[in-house]
Amino acid sequence: MAKFEDAIGTILKNEGGYVNNPNDPGGETKYGISKSSYPNVDIKNLTVEGATAIYRRDFWRFSGINDQQVATKVFDMYVNMRHDAIKLAQEILGITQDGLYGGNTEAAINAMDPQQFLILYRARLVKHYELIIAVHPNEVVFKENWLERAKQ
């Protein structure tokens, strides 16, 4: 079973420190926690411990995944793109794409070879990010980081 403690370091590393990029629809962000999603949080002074608590409470759903690497990847993408991350996983699993992480999605993930899942998921993530940039060209500034993250 996957552990939050083994996954959170990846998320904190990928999300990075404080930024306030005008091209980012999330606005002011630190450790991936955005002012637009958490208007009552002092983003600039948010600590790693504070961000970790938010991630555990609001984002971690994946302890039932058997493979830690798969759980970390899905968690990382869920942090980055919320329900779209689940829809993309459901797409490659060939199940209903409702964007909701539940027992059916978890069972399908666990039934698939972990390395095969990761290969297909990474490829689908790259395609998703490229579509975002095609529709929102001003977000091209994020392309390099998004693609690197997708391929991890």
Task: Print the domain residue range for 88.
Answer: 4-151
Token output for 126: 């790259």
What string of pLDDT tens digits covers the 152 residues of the chain?
999 999 999 999 998 888 887 766 677 889 999 998 999 999 999 999 999 999 999 999 999 999 999 999 999 999 988 999 999 999 999 999 999 999 999 999 999 999 999 999 999 999 988 888 888 887 777 777 877 777 77
pTM for this prediction: 0.89
Number of domains in the chain: 1
> Using CA of residue 134, residue 136, residue 140, residue 142, what is the dihedral sign?
negative
28-60 burial code (b ≥16 CB/10 A, e <16): bbbbbbbbeebeebebeebeeebbbebbeeebb
CATH at residue 66: 1.20.141.10
Instruction: Answer for the pair 127, 113: CB distance below 8 angstroms, yes or no.
Output: no
